[in-house]
Amino acid sequence: MNRFLLPLGAFIVLVIFLWIGLTLNPREVPSPLINKVAPTFRLPQLHDAAKTIGPEDLRGKVWLLNVWASWCVTCRQEHPLLVELERQKLVPIYGLNYKDNRDDGLALLRNSGDPYTLSAYDREGNVGIDWGVYGVPETFVIDKSGLIRHKFIGALTPELIQNKLIPLVKELNGA
């Protein structure tokens, strides 16, 4: 009896480990930038190349930075959710138009609606790298003091917005 107990025990432990492994998503690499000051940048705006935008302009308010591009299929799926979120006027959404063609980006916003208060235009993707972007779309939540408080990797979903994003924004605005 005993001689089977040990291998059986080892097997069960292995199964538990593998089971946990199956539920993890290796694509979601936790960002080391959480609770750090948002990396600074100064980029031309998407709509008006003569004007610039940077995180410093947004000190004192809670805001979202949504990294998007017209070539990104998942961003297009996410887009209506952002438009809807913008209508609720809970939090301003700023866009980082990532490695995109200016005209393509603008065309997308014309056709599908523009949820962004402003979009920064990151042609080379250098700001993206500075922010640790590796899978577009990504959405950062930045608090009043300019700290990154959360990062959503991949497209937002109605559940994520309801259960995570909106409560977090409310909490940050309350504090």
By CB under 8 A, name the binding residues for another protein.
Answer: 26-27, 29-33, 39, 99, 124-126, 128-132, 134-135
Residue 12 C-beta: closest distance to another protein, Å = 18
Q: Which is nearer to another protein, 91 or 96 (CB)?
A: 96
Residue 80 C-beta: closest distance to another protein, Å = 26
Q: Which is nearer to another protein, 21 or 32 (CB)?
A: 32
Residue 152 C-beta: closest distance to another protein, Å = 16
3-state secondary structure labels for all residues of 64-100: EEEEECCCCHHHHHHHHHHHHHHHCCCCCEEEEEECC
Q: Which is nearer to another protein, 103 or 124 (CB)?
A: 124
Q: Which is nearer to another protein, 151 or 161 (CB)?
A: 151
Residue 114 C-beta: closest distance to another protein, Å = 25
Please tell me the distance from the alpha carbon of residue 24 to that of residue 19, in angstroms, as a whole number: 9
List Cα–Cα distances, 115 to 60, 92, 94, in angstroms.
21, 9, 8
Spatial CA neighbour of 88 closest among 64, 106, 55, 57: 64
